[in-house]
């Protein structure tokens, strides 16, 4: 069985915002990677986390479940979650699963950050 790599690089934008650049495959198996990225993003010191899905190559339903877990964690810390870089296909999946009602989707990083850094 082949294992595929996922990378999540964290960039801080301002004091309260962090961007996570996701590249590769989002499945339930990458939960430790996402949670490490969440910690690297500053944990509770960050009040808004922006997920960049421009490098997303594949996502199954386990990946969506993992994003819900991240959402719960962020809500516990009173943090907002936002996303950009979603292709039409993945945007539809967010809408189908109604995850878009909790994670605000933006068309670009600029608009996501404008929404984030006020």
Nearest CA to 85 out of 20, 36, 5, 12 is that of: 20
What is the rounded distance in angstroms from the CA atom of residue 1 to the CA atom of residue 63?
Answer: 19
Helix or strand or coil: residue 25? Answer: strand
Q: Which is nearer to other proteins, 96 or 114 (CB)?
A: 96
| Cβ at position 105, least distance to other proteins in Å | 14
Instruction: Tell me which DSSP letter residue 89 carries.
Output: H
| Cβ at position 48, least distance to other proteins in Å | 14
Binding site for other proteins (CB under 8 A): 1-12, 14-15, 18, 24-30, 32-33, 36-37, 40-42, 45, 57-62, 64-65, 68-69, 71-72, 75-76, 87, 89-90, 92-93, 95-99, 101-102
| Cβ at position 32, least distance to other proteins in Å | 6
Q: Which is nearer to other proteins, 5 or 118 (CB)?
A: 5
Q: Which is nearer to other proteins, 14 or 110 (CB)?
A: 14
Contact call for residues 50 and 8 (beta carbons, < 8 A): no
> Which residue is associated with the tokens 């495959």?
25
Going across the sheet that includes 48-59, the strands are: 17-26, 48-59, 80-84, 104-105
| Cβ at position 33, least distance to other proteins in Å | 4
């Amino acid at each position: 069985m082949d294992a595929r790599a996922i990378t999540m690089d964290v960039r801080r934008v301002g004091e309260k915002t962090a961007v996570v650049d996701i590249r590769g495959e989002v499945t339930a198996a990458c939960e430790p990677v996402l949670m490490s990225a969440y910690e690297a993003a500053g944990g509770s010191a960050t009040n808004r986390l922006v997920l960049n899905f421009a490098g997303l190559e594949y996502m199954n339903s386990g990946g969506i479940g993992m994003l819900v877990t991240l959402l719960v964690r962020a809500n516990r810390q009173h943090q907002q979650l936002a996303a950009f870089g979603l292709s039409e296909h993945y945007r539809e999946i967010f809408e189908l699963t109604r995850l878009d009602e909790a994670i605000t989707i933006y068309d670009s990083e600029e608009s996501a950050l404008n929404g984030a850094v006020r």
